[in-house]
Amino acid sequence: MNSINLSDPFSLSNGQIIKNRLFKSAMSEQLGDKQHNPTRGLVRLYDSWAKGGIGLSVTGNVMVDRSALGEPKNVVLDEKSDLALFSEWTDAGKKNGSQIWVQLNHPGKQIPKFLCDEPVAPSAISLGRGLEKGFNTPRALNETEIHEIITKFAISAMLSKQAGFTGVQIHGAHGYLVSQFLSSRHNQREDKWGGSLDNRLRFVLEVYRAIRKAVGDDFPIGIKLNSADFMKGGFTEEESMQVVEKLSDNGIDLIEISGGTYESPSMMGSKNKTEPVKESTIKREAYFMDYMEKVRKLVSTPLVVTGGFRTAPAMNEALNTSATDFIGIARTMAVDPDFPNKLIKNPNYGMSLTVPTTGKPALDKIGMVGLVWYEHQMWRIAAGKKADPNLSALGVVFKTILSAGLHAFKKRRA
pLDDT digits (tens, 9 = 90+) for 281-325: 444 455 678 889 999 999 999 999 988 899 999 999 999 999 999
Q: Does position 348 have pLDDT exceeding 60, yes or no?
A: yes
Map out the domains of the chain as residue ranges: 10-353
**pTM of the full structure:** 0.90
Mean of per-residue pLDDT scores for the chain: 88
| CA separation for the pair 313, 359 (Å, rounded) | 32
Q: For the chain, what percentages of helix, strand and coil (3-state, to nearest 5) are there?
A: 40, 15, 50
CB burial class (10 A; 0-12, 13-18, 19+) of residue 300?
exposed
Q: Computed from CA positions of residues 250, 66, 115, 58, in that sequence, does the dihedral angle turn out positive or negative?
A: positive
Under CATH, which number does the domain 10-353 receive? 3.20.20.70
Of 223, 98, 208, 94, the closest CA to residue 153 belongs to 208
| Residue 404's pLDDT band (cuts 50, 70, 90) | low
pLDDT of residue 150: 98
Interstrand relation of 120-121 and 99-105 (parallel, antiparallel or unpaired): unpaired
pLDDT digits (tens, 9 = 90+) for 50-87: 999 999 999 999 999 999 999 999 999 999 999 999 99
pLDDT of residue 397: 85
